[in-house]
């Protein structure tokens, strides 16, 4: 699949500015740091090296080591310092080399950052942003390829985002920095080199607002991050045979945009939820329950279908890795079954 050619990204027409997903994130950080001296960037190897995926690249040259700080190889320690800095009035952006490594900092994220506003009666806020390179597809094996966004979506006090395009990657990061509470942004590793239209200057992509990327009347496909691109490609194939899928970019896992999803389900009567996390106990289960508990349930004329990752660690072997998570072919096949009520 060529993500860069997907309809959700923009062609370089001369009147649009084209950036990569990584460049858009870097631009957002630079704009925020220029506008607000309290914004700092922290993480392992994010200074001179430019980060594991080269997203922070030249920021240390532009803003210096006092604002672009390499932290020791200790996720618990680095995340703890970021939370503490947020409590003192700074606005830290903390980059994990891989989202998987956030497991070492669960105390700081889940028990401290997410809860302190509640435990202190609203007298303190923790405006920290955690950037989380995530997902499979790079041959990084089981400990570096997971999609664990649903874990954090379970935690009150956190906001959990999944930008799918360069435009949203920039706008969501700026929106996260404007939020007084902790925000986790899951950036799929395969998206860093994809390119698309990115507006000049500062703008905020609203948190908690999904977006209909493709209209249709035959079924609804809800997806986010890399799965949005695969769902859109599958929808193109389906349209050749007269099956018109409405594709919704979830964008935000917590909070979830109930209204956009329910409105679409009421129109199409069928729902397929696609996500890269393990199918069980995942984002698809939450969305399915949300629909089942609403009046949209009465509009369904087929069972809700979830398409997630296999119930196994992500394999190293590239063929097995691809087979373990939804691909364009599997999304297309699932959508065809649903459209024909064969589930």
Say if CB 180 and CB 283 are below 8 A apart: no
Nearest to 210 by CA among 199, 200, 197, 225: 225
Nearest to 49 by CA among 66, 63, 69: 69
Kindly report, residue by residue over 201-214, the tens digit of the pLDDT: 999 999 999 999 99
Cα–Cα distance, 330 to 308 (Å, whole number): 10
Token code pair at residue 314: 């992500």
Cα–Cα distance, 30 to 68 (Å, whole number): 11
All structural domains of the chain: 3-197 (3.40.50.970), 211-339 (3.40.50.920)
Integer angstrom CA distances of residue 217 from 208, 243, 332 = 24, 8, 16
Higher pLDDT, 42 or 342: 42
Task: Enumerate the active-site residues.
Answer: 75, 144
pLDDT band for position 8 (cuts 50, 70, 90): low
Chain-wide mean pLDDT for the chain?
94
Cα–Cα distance, 51 to 116 (Å, whole number): 29
Stated pTM of the model: 0.94
Q: Where are the beta strands (DSSP E) in the chain?
A: 18-20, 39-43, 68-70, 91-95, 129-134, 159-161, 183-188, 195-197, 211-214, 219-223, 245-249, 252-254, 271-278, 305-309
Kindly report, residue by residue over 73-87, the tens digit of the pLDDT: 999 999 999 999 999
**Residue with tokens 């992500």, as numbered in its chain:** 314
pLDDT band for position 278 (cuts 50, 70, 90): very high
pLDDT of residue 11: 37
Using alpha carbons only, give the angle 102, 104, 106 rounded to the nearest 5 degrees: 70
* Sheet containing 271-278: order of strands: 211-214, 245-249, 219-223, 271-278, 305-309
pLDDT of residue 341: 80
Kindly report, residue by residue over 132-190, the tens digit of the pLDDT: 999 999 999 999 999 999 999 999 999 999 999 999 999 999 999 999 999 999 999 99
Kindly report, residue by residue over 99-124, the tens digit of the pLDDT: 999 999 999 999 999 999 999 999 99
Lowest-confidence pick of 13-17, 196-200, 231-235: 13-17
pLDDT tops 80 at residue 3 = no
């Amino acid at each position: 699949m060529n993500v860069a050619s997907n309809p959700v990204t923009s062609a370089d027409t001369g009147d649009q500015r084209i950036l990569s997903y990584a460049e858009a994130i870097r631009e957002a950080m630079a704009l925020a740091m220029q506008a607000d001296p309290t914004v700092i960037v922290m993480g392992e190897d994010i200074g001179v090296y430019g980060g594991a995926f080269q997203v922070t690249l030249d920021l240390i040259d532009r803003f210096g080591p006092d604002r672009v700080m390499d932290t020791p190889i200790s996720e618990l320690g680095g995340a703890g310092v970021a939370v503490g800095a947020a409590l003192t009035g700074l606005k830290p952006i903390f980059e994990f080399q891989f989202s998987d490594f956030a497991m070492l900092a669960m105390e700081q994220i889940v028990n401290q950052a997410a809860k302190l506003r509640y435990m202190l009666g609203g007298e303190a806020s923790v405006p920290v942003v955690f950037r989380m390179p995530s997902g499979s597809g790079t041959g990084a094996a089981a400990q570096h390829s997971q999609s664990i966004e649903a874990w954090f979506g379970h935690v009150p006090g956190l906001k959990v985002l999944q930008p799918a395009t360069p435009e949203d990657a920039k706008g969501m990061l700026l929106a996260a920095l404007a939020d007084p509470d902790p925000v986790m942004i899951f950036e799929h590793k395969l998206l860093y080199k994809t390119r698309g239209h990115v507006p000049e200057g500062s703008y905020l992509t609203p948190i908690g607002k999904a977006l209909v990327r493709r209209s249709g009347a035959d079924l609804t496909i809800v997806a986010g991050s890399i799965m949005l691109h695969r769902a859109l490609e599958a929808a193109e194939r389906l349209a050749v045979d007269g099956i018109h899928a409405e594709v919704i970019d979830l964008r935000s896992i917590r909070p979830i945009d109930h209204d956009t999803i329910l409105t679409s389900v009421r129109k199409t009567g069928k729902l397929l939820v696609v996500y890269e996390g393990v199918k069980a106990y995942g984002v698809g289960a939450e969305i399915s329950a949300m629909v089942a508990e609403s009046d949209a349930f009465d509009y369904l004329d087929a069972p809700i279908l979830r398409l997630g990752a296999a119930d196994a660690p992500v394999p190293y072997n590239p063929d097995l890795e691809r087979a373990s998570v939804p691909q364009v072919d599997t999304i297309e096949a699932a959508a065809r079954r649903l459209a024909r009520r064969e589930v």
